[in-house]
Amino acid sequence: MNKNKILIELEIPLTEKKYDIFIPINKKIGTIKSLIEQALVELTDKAYEIREDTNLYSKENGTIYDVNKTVRDTDLKNGSRVILL
């Protein structure tokens, strides 16, 4: 198993979809959020619009993940459930 990535479940209420995705632990949350949003724009044929007020939240406790922290410096681990809202 690759120790540089973790597998999370990403839920996107706007599209009513869930995705299992691998994210690198050495990247900042802001970078991860940006990459996810860019992928959503492509997956939805530009129906998804990137917004500045979108955040990644823990589905377990509602915590907003700090965009300036790396994944490794958060409580994210394999199996974490995250919401993009």
pLDDT (mean) for 5-27: 96
**Structural domain harbouring 38:** 5-84
pTM (2 decimals)?
A: 0.91
d(CA 32, CA 71): 9
Residues 6+ positions from 2 with CB-CB distance below 8 Å: 22
pLDDT at 1 over 70: no
A 10 A CB-CB count for 67 gives 14
Express each pLDDT in 27-72 by its tens digit: 999 999 999 999 999 988 988 899 989 999 999 999 999 999 999 9
Torsion angle, alpha carbons of 55, 59, 60, 66, to 10: -10
pLDDT (mean) for 11-28: 95
Report the number of distinct structural domains present in the chain: 1
The CATH code of the domain that includes 65 is 3.10.20.90
Assess contact for 64 and 56: CB atoms under 8 A: yes
Structure tokens at 49: 């619009």
pLDDT, residue 15, reads: 87
